């Protein structure tokens, strides 16, 4: 996957974050993102490496677990809208890490 493709993924997710109601119903952010990731993996054989996703979670104050971070979001009392915003933000931040890694060799040249 090249940097233009990763930037397009970030742009698409940013659009979803701005208008989540066009892409998913309430309580479906996790399912939407699972489907989005699966489609990307099927098309490109690449998703966000787990290490980048874990970093993005930690940077936003969430712990990694199999239910991460939905269970913790529910415990903290986030509204559905806040959960959608946060899940999309985490996903975007993880993809930005992928983009930074792709661009890193260019910065050294």
Q: How much is the mean pLDDT over the chain?
A: 89
pLDDT over threshold 70, residue 49: yes
16-20, 22-26, 68-72 — most confident range: 16-20
Q: Report the pLDDT value the prediction gives residue 11, as an integer from 0 to 100.
A: 96
Find out whether the peptide bond into 27 is cis, omega within 30 degrees of 0.
no
| Residue 58, φ and ψ in degrees, nearest 5 | -60, -40
Q: Report the pLDDT value the prediction gives residue 23, as an integer from 0 to 100.
A: 93
pLDDT over threshold 90, residue 75: yes
Residues with Cβ < 8 Å from 30, sequence gap 6 or more? 70, 87
Counting every residue, how long is the chain? 109
Exposure of 86 by Cβ count < 10 A (0-12 exposed, 13-18 middle, 19+ buried)? buried
Establish how many alpha carbons lie within 13 A of residue 9's alpha carbon, considering only the half-sphere containing its beta carbon.
28
Going from N- to C-terminal start, the domains of the chain cover 3-107
């Amino acid at each position: 996957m090249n940097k233009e493709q990763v930037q397009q993924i970030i742009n698409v997710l940013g659009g979803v974050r701005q208008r989540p109601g066009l892409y998913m119903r309430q309580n479906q952010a996790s399912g939407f993102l699972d489907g989005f990731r699966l489609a990307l993996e099927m098309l490109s054989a690449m998703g966000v490496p787990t290490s980048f996703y874990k970093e993005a979670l930690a940077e936003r104050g969430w712990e990694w677990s199999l239910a991460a971070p939905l269970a913790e979001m529910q415990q903290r009392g986030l509204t559905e809208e806040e959960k959608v915003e946060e899940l999309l933000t985490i996903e975007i931040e993880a993809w930005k890490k992928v983009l930074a890694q792709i661009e890193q060799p260019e910065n050294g040249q």
